[in-house]
Structure 1
């Protein structure tokens, strides 16, 4: 008889816990779609979703959890559309390509992922690494390590000698001849195979390096590096496989080829002309400005020995230009998504981008909308991420004060919930 009594208690406890909800009592709640604050609201969380937004401070029944955020401003978890979660800029970055094992990269990446989450970025788009980023996405999804929800490109796709060719700067005997499997293409056929290889490996998105880049060990940081036929083959194949496509691009000609070739987002866009801005609007292509990375690269280029000489020269020339280009593009009406290129600067400092965007003339509420509603839509998650609404995933952060008055407050996140689980309070 005692055995059945214990079983009954276990079952009863399970029924009670199954119905438990969490009540977040919010002093102010930011409606990111309208850019307006709403006072004294309560978010009701069940499992990993918001099930109600109630007026006033409510608390449910005795078994429900209540979290007091009445002194804070609550907003959706932020989304960064351009990070490199596997690594972080340092003077020994180039040497580590030869000394770090995949396990070393993985342990560092887990640390960077947690820092990103604790900074209030509950979702990121990782735009290129070694493939460890795919394993990290899986580990976070399984609850093995804390981190943001990751949409990753796996290995970025380049041309031979182009930005993201993994053998740039090596001695001749170590260069070899990487191909589509390694993310290096030289024809439309190669491009299709490279996309299918990324899909096979588990990537979510496709990233190409449409022009030269700053941090690669190659002399040109802006020349076009793909033909338009190659880009079309890549973007069409990506579309066939349901994958968003992004193009790293500093130079104007490479941007125009990428836009006409069907790319979804232009990353950096440093030397974007007025003509290209009009093309962006015409084709509905989004600019992901990454101002933070440009500024950090320019600062580090002034430190003797921080970069190889060929990299430092490009960083000094290109880095300082991005903020001004963003300003002109935004005022011209170019669609803007929020992305930082974290990894070029320290992970966890992503919110500094908001300050730079506001300095360049974008209202803070528009910058926050870019990092929530806009990015969620681009990721195909517009009906479940980026807003605090019933039915949406419970990705929620809170800050002290009013971020609409001071964008810098977004760098001081006091509360983080992702998928209904509290990570910082």
Structure 2
């Protein structure tokens, strides 16, 4: 008995001699509660092991030996932003003809560079909806391992598409017999492709339900994939609890994708009343990239965008913004998705002003990039708010974003999981 008591005493003594876990505190001028749309004055946030453990007001911390206080007396704290539609491998300043010659390893290097740029712009979580090979999956894993710096990434791997459709590559001559990695035709073929993406690490799935703006030989309004094929994709992904995104500009493709059970419709350019009603009925999230039109039409030609693609952008842009306004007015679920890669990475937040211009309140726009996006990813109990028990993904801005949404375009402070990645004190 004495021997056991002595062993226990030694164990307790050893534990008590270990250094205490360092705690981080953040104090600021104010903090935005994105759920209620209120500003909390003089917050003190306690962070332990990357998680928010308490939020108090008008308090001063009792600092331990290894604790840290981050004091931001002129700034307002906002949850880390989330962009649900990016393509980290693509560089809009590089001509499309030149991109054809880029290897998968080169794309991965680009992706790592743009991931860091995106994080420093205040986006602590993104969903990458399509990339050649498994390049962005490798970057995501590198970020998670601490090898490189970047946001949390939900990576879809290669986008699924029909032969000759928007997610295929139609720019090469037939004698090369090239087919994009994600091409699959028929219900069992698409199931196989979903399984393949998951095998190599995808934690999201994306498919092309209609033609697109930046592909060759596709019409944006024409449906790709039948209802049976779309259902097969969704069912296979949902069995593994992965969110499914459907690229869809045209009305028929939008409706079919919603009926098939997708979690989000990307672009959603040509909405009619029935499509809006279906989205509301099914709780489908719409991710509408209404910022990038000006960039494409201003710089597309010099960046090697074909006239065919510019013509389609002119066709889509006003219609998409009209659809956005109608969807907001109808109360459809909306998330923040920019299609970053059509314009420079790091400029993601410039879309907020467009969202307000075309019908959202400032709070709705911010919610689309925080609590709404977290719900889409089924991470609403861990991400999207500055709240006890949530990951310490926190950014700071000058001023009140509820009064001036453009403050989100300049981010002086970025924290992800309790680690500071940018500070301009």
Give the TM bin, normalised by the shorter chain.
over 0.9
Alignment equivalent of 1:78, drawn from 74, 78, 81: 81
**CA drift at 1:215:** 0.7
The residue correspondences of 1:1-400 to structure 2 (distance < 5 A) are 15-16=18-19, 18-63=20-65, 64-98=67-101, 100-130=102-132, 131-165=134-168, 167-176=169-178, 182-301=181-300, 303=301, 306-400=304-398
What does the per-residue CA deviation read over 1:207-248, in whole Å, with 9 as the maximum and x for residues that have no partner?
Answer: 011000011122422210110000001101111111110101
What does the per-residue CA deviation read over 1:125-147, in whole Å, with 9 as the maximum and x for residues that have no partner?
Answer: 00000110000000000111110
Instruction: Count residues with an aligned counterpart.
Output: 408
Equivalent-residue separation in structure 2 for 1:394 and 1:358 (angstroms)? 27
Tell me the SS of whatever aligns to 1:310: helix
What does the per-residue CA deviation read over 1:67-118, in whole Å, with 9 as the maximum and x for residues that have no partner?
Answer: 11121000110111110011121351232222x2222212211110011000
What does the per-residue CA deviation read over 1:152-207, in whole Å, with 9 as the maximum and x for residues that have no partner?
Answer: 10110000011111x311101123456xxx21111011111111011101101110
CA contact (8 A) 2:92 2:303 kept: no
Tell me the SS of whatever aligns to 2:296: helix
Equivalent-residue separation in structure 2 for 1:308 and 1:14 (angstroms)? 67
The runs of 5 or more residues in structure 2 that have no matched partner are 1-13
Equivalent-residue separation in structure 2 for 1:14 and 1:346 (angstroms)? 51
Cα gap change, 1:71/1:218 in structure 2, threshold over 3 Å: closer, same or farther?
same
Equivalent-residue separation in structure 2 for 1:373 and 1:253 (angstroms)? 29
The runs of 5 or more residues in structure 1 that have no matched partner are 1-10
Equivalent-residue separation in structure 1 for 2:174 and 2:243 (angstroms)? 35
Equivalent-residue separation in structure 2 for 1:236 and 1:264 (angstroms)? 11
Tell me the SS of whatever aligns to 2:199: helix
**CA drift at 1:332:** 1.4
CA contact (8 A) 1:292 1:341 kept: no
Equivalent-residue separation in structure 1 for 2:382 and 2:34 (angstroms)? 14
Equivalent-residue separation in structure 2 for 1:339 and 1:375 (angstroms)? 9
What does the per-residue CA deviation read over 1:357-400, in whole Å, with 9 as the maximum and x for residues that have no partner?
Answer: 00011001111111111111111111110111111111000001
CA contact (8 A) 1:84 1:126 kept: yes
Equivalent-residue separation in structure 2 for 1:309 and 1:169 (angstroms)? 14
Cα gap change, 1:256/1:345 in structure 2, threshold over 3 Å: closer, same or farther?
same
Cα gap change, 1:418/1:305 in structure 2, threshold over 3 Å: closer, same or farther?
closer
Equivalent-residue separation in structure 2 for 1:423 and 1:91 (angstroms)? 28
Tell me the SS of whatever aligns to 1:54: strand
Cα gap change, 1:305/1:294 in structure 2, threshold over 3 Å: closer, same or farther?
closer
* TM-score (normalizing by structure 2): 0.93
Equivalent-residue separation in structure 2 for 1:45 and 1:132 (angstroms)? 33
The residue correspondences of 1:403-422 to structure 2 (distance < 5 A) are 403-422=401-420
**CA drift at 1:300:** 3.3
Tell me the SS of whatever aligns to 1:42: strand
Tell me the SS of whatever aligns to 1:229: helix
Tell me the SS of whatever aligns to 1:321: helix
Equivalent-residue separation in structure 2 for 1:337 and 1:313 (angstroms)? 27
Tell me the SS of whatever aligns to 1:185: coil
CA contact (8 A) 2:172 2:178 kept: no
* Range 87-96 or range 122-131, more displaced: 87-96
Equivalent-residue separation in structure 2 for 1:336 and 1:145 (angstroms)? 31
**What's the C-alpha RMSD, in Å, of the aligned pairs?**
1.6
Equivalent-residue separation in structure 1 for 2:183 and 2:18 (angstroms)? 55
* Range 214-223 or range 237-246, more displaced: 214-223
CA contact (8 A) 2:194 2:205 kept: yes
CA contact (8 A) 1:48 1:421 kept: yes
What does the per-residue CA deviation read over 1:20-45, in whole Å, with 9 as the maximum and x for residues that have no partner?
Answer: 11110021000000010010010111
CA contact (8 A) 1:294 1:320 kept: no
